[in-house]
Amino acid sequence: MCELLGMSANVPTDICFSFSGLIRRSKATGVHKDGWGVAFFEDKGVRLFLEPYTALDSKLAQLVKSYPIKSQTVISHIRQADSGKVALANTHPFVRELWGLNWVFAHNGKIDPVKKRKLFFYQPVGETDSEYAFCWILDQIRRRFSKKSISSKKLHQFIGTLIKELNHLGTFNVLLGNGQYLYAHCSTHLWWLTRKAPFGNASLIDANLQVDFQRHTTSKDIVTVLATQPLTFDEYWNMMDPGEFKILKHGVFVDI
């Protein structure tokens, strides 16, 4: 299975620390050697970095790990291929436009039956069930709502319904974002933690790396991180229940 990493924050924040732990799982402490990717939202734009091989040996991934790109919403993924060959076109996250916004999607799991569903507007470029599912979700949103002015609550509920429907086809751990909201669904494994004042120290499980967040934050900062498995051993991670669906905006969970 692949692994996911997401972040939602109320101020532009870098994800260097968490990303450093994630990419260790691509080879050193894990088997996710078939590609990696990370998307940083910046206003309506997205900085997207993708490669179809192990992140741990990648000079580009090392750059991302060390260069503090600031964003309020981040989605990242390391891949262990089980649907589609190892190729750039099959590397997560995937990006599509809807209502003048970039939508970004990453998936951990397998739902091959989704390819039997008809697509109308969005089409996959690669071969994965993940990208196909993403296209189907956006298709359904586009067909259901004619314009962006639809209420956020109705949109949130509809996205949750679509994701839960696909979850019945297999394993569907998902991160989906549009720069305004970050949607997260747990099918089998997904954890989260929120960092806010008073900030403290954190140590990675997969690397000999510690950080004192108090030195890099203000008392008003709120940062929520989601991961397939906890990334630190000295912070409290919350385990999501199978079938649980959450929405984040500016680091805070949104009620629907």
Task: For 55-114, give the DSSP string.
Answer: GGG-HHHHHHHHS---EEEEEEEE---SSS-SSGGGPSPEEEEETTEEEEEEEEEE-GGG
Active-site positions read 2
Please tell us whether the domain made up of 3-253 is placed in CATH 3.60.15.10.
no
Q: CB atoms < 10 A from the CB of 19, how many?
A: 23
Question: Tens digit of pLDDT for each residue in 11-60?
Answer: 999 999 999 999 999 875 556 678 999 999 998 899 999 999 898 889 99
At residue 164, does pLDDT exceed 80? yes
At residue 116, does pLDDT exceed 90? yes
- Cβ atoms of 141 and 159 closer than 8 Å: yes
Six token digits for residue 131: 């990208």
pLDDT score of 148: 65
At residue 203, does pLDDT exceed 60? yes
Q: Per this entry, what is the length of the chain?
A: 256
pLDDT score of 61: 93
At residue 150, does pLDDT exceed 80? no
